[in-house]
Amino acid sequence: MSVWAARPVAEVPEIVLQAWRILETPAGDRHLVGFRPDRGTGRVSSAIVSLDMHARVGITRSGRRYLLEGPPGAAVEHGDYVWSTWCRVNRVSCYCDVTNDLLLNS
């Protein structure tokens, strides 16, 4: 599998994610990770700046809007591959899955 840079927000202002999770780095940044059904690819967002768990909508540092479709889950073949690559590139050696905590507290 390949990993490539995201297209500009002006070109793709909104993305639907399925089998999504919210992962937190030791720095406290949280990222959306999941499967992008329109492209058949995995996706890792930039850091989340706003998250509405009731509406299932997240806004990231880049300004992109993510629509969380369906239940959370692990997009093992696609999302996790992109996340592991993102972690290697960004020198993140550990992280926490905070999805359930955020769902329970919403």
> pLDDT, tens digit, for every residue of 34-53?
999 999 999 999 999 999 99
What's the pLDDT tens digit per position in 56-92?
999 999 999 999 999 998 766 788 889 999 999 999 9
Residue 55: name the closest of 66, 46, 47 by CA. Answer: 66
Half-sphere exposure of 14 (CA within 13 A, CB side): 6
pLDDT for res 6? 72
Query: Across the strands, what pairs with 41?
Result: 36
